[in-house]
C-alpha cells in the first residue's frame, strides 16, 4: 500500500485540534527562509482544476512593514478623517504584529472551461493549507483579510495587479499564549442527506 493510501491518525488528531492564534499575540521567531519555502510549497498543493495556479504569494519583508502601516494609516485617514489614537495604532501595526506576513492573491479570471468561482475556491484552499502547515511546523498562524484587502488603492499598494484580489494575509509567528477554543457548529445543524425533490 502506498504512503498516500496509508492512514495517518496523528494528522487527524492534529486537524481536530488546530486553532488560529490572534496575530497580536504572536512574537518571534517566525519561520526561517528554508521553512518558509516549505510552507509555500505545501500551501500550493491544493485542488486546482485545469492546473491554472490562479493565485500567487507576496512576502512582506519585516524591515518594510512599518512603512506599510504608515501608508495604510494615510489611506484610512483620507477615507475616514482623523482617527483616534487606538485606531491609529491599529493601522500602524497591521503588518508588524507577526514576524512573517504573506499575502495570498487570487488571480482568478474568465476561462472557457474553469469557472471563476472554482479558481477562487482554490485560492481559499491555499490559505487554509498555509495556516495548517504553519501550525504543524510549531508556529502560530492566522488568516486575516481586513479592510485593505478590499480597498483598491491599498490592495494595489500591497501587491495586487489589475483584476486581482486578496484571498487574505497569513500571519505566522511564535505563540505567546495558548489558543482558546471556540464554539463549533453542531453537525446536526449543518449536515443533511440529499433526497430527491418532486417537481
Task: State the virtual CA torsion across 44, 49, 54, 55 in degrees, nearest 10.
Answer: -30
For the chain, the distance separating the N- and C-terminal CA atoms, rounded to the nearest angstrom, is 46
Residues 6+ apart with CB under 8 A from 72: 91, 92, 94, 148, 154
Residue 45 labelled as part of a binding site: yes
Residue 143 labelled as part of a binding site: yes
Q: Are 169 and 71 in contact (CB under 8 A)?
A: no
Residue 18 labelled as part of a binding site: yes
Residue 187 labelled as part of a binding site: no
Helix (H/G/I), strand (E/B), else coil: 184:
coil
As given in the structure block, the three cell numbers for residue 135 are 501550525
Query: Alpha carbon of 189 to those of 184, 193, 195: distances in Å?
Result: 11, 12, 17
Residue 194 labelled as part of a binding site: no
> How does strand 100-106 pair with strand 26-27?
unpaired
Phi and psi of 122, rounded to 5°? -60, -40
Residue 39 labelled as part of a binding site: no
Which residues are documented as binding site? 18-20, 45, 49, 143-145
Which residues are documented as binding site for FMN? 18-20, 45, 49, 143-145
Amino acid at each position: 500500500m502506498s504512503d498516500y493510501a496509508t492512514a495517518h491518525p496523528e494528522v487527524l488528531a492534529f486537524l481536530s485540534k488546530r486553532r488560529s492564534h490572534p496575530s497580536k499575540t504572536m512574537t518571534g521567531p517566525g519561520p526561517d527562509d528554508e521553512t518558509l519555502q516549505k510552507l509555500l510549497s505545501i500551501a500550493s498543493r491544493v485542488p486546482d482544476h485545469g492546473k491554472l495556479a490562479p493565485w500567487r504569494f507576496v512576502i512582506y519583508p519585516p524591515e518594510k512593514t512599518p512603512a506599510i502601516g504608515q501608508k495604510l494609516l494615510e489611506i484610512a485617514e483620507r477615507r475616514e478623517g482623523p482617527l483616534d489614537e487606538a485606531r491609529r495604532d491599529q493601522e500602524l501595526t497591521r503588518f508588524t504584529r507577526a514576524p512573517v506576513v504573506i499575502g495570498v492573491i487570487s488571480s482568478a479570471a474568465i476561462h472557457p472551461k474553469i469557472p471563476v468561482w472554482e479558481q477562487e475556491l482554490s485560492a481559499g484552499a491555499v490559505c487554509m493549507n498555509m495556516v495548517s502547515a504553519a501550525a504543524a511546523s510549531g508556529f502560530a498562524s492566522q488568516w486575516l483579510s481586513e479592510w485593505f484587502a478590499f480597498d483598491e488603492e491599498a490592495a494595489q499598494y500591497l501587491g495586487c495587479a489589475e483584476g486581482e484580489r486578496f484571498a487574505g494575509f497569513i500571519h505566522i509567528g511564535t505563540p505567546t499564549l495558548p489558543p482558546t477554543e471556540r464554539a463549533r457548529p453542531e453537525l446536526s445543524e449543518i449536515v443533511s442527506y440529499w433526497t430527491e425533490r418532486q417537481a
